[in-house]
Amino acid sequence: MDIEVLEGVFDANEKIARENEELFRSRGVLAVNLMASPGAGKTSLVIRTLELLRGKLRIGVIEGDIASSVDAEKVKSQGVPVVQINTGGVCHLDAAMIRQALDHLDLAALDLVIIENVGNLVCPAEFKLGEGLRAMILSVPEGHDKPLKYPLMFSDSQVLVVNKTDLLGMGDFDMDELRSTVLRMNPRVAIFEVSCRTGEGLQDWADWLEERARENLKGVDEGST
């Protein structure tokens, strides 16, 4: 019975995720599902990305938290449209939550939507949202062994951002070993080494994301001709 119930939950989520995906696609919007553990730097990366892409892309943000609107208020100060989702204890966002949030965003006026998922390295990876890109953050203090402990998150993301590189050398984090492990699991993943505190590496990440968004928009334009 438990297996049947769980399959039903995933099936229902998949259906709504496909609808969300089509909605994003029809509007020419690239949706990024940003996942990480608590404290890895999700909100910091969102804000830094907004700063670097200001005037280049029209960006909206969906903030997912178990409670509070602290992160949403920080992002709102950047002058972009923000929708807050409080899950009330649920450890991940799901497609139905995103669908409701989209009622409060004007997708026709956006090129990119960043979805900051709830801080967790397990549940968010299991629920598709209709995103066009899955990205995750690993911070240096978490350790280079996290891919072995949470393989789905690392194998199912298209991009890995390694944050807090300014702390390298203060512990036993091994960047080469991390890269080797992740690329064995996910050979096509793009890896960026950044520090949201110092700004190191962030321009490369922002340029890459901008290119993905423009490619997405170009694909929609070509499909409509």
Domains, the chain: 2-223 (3.40.50.300)
Query: What is the pLDDT at residue 222?
Result: 62
Query: What is the pLDDT at residue 71?
Result: 87
Query: What is the pLDDT at residue 130?
Result: 97
Q: Which of 71, 80, 31 is closest to 51 using CA atoms? A: 80
Q: Calculate the average pLDDT of the chain.
A: 93
Which long-range CB contacts under 8 A does 143-146 form with residues at least 24 apart? 143/171, 143/172, 143/173, 144/173, 144/174, 144/175, 144/177, 144/178, 144/181, 146/121
Do residues 123 and 154 lie in contact, with contact meaning Cβ atoms separated by under 8 Å?
Answer: no
pLDDT tens, 90-139?
Answer: 899 999 999 999 999 999 999 999 999 999 999 999 999 999 999 999 99
The pair of three-digit structure tokens given for residue 215, joined into one six-digit string = 């490619």
Query: What is the pLDDT at residue 9?
Result: 72
| pLDDT exceeds cutoff 50 at 223 | yes
Give the DSSP letter string of 158-203. SEEEEE-GGGTTSS---HHHHHHHHHHH-TT-EEEE--TTT-TTHH
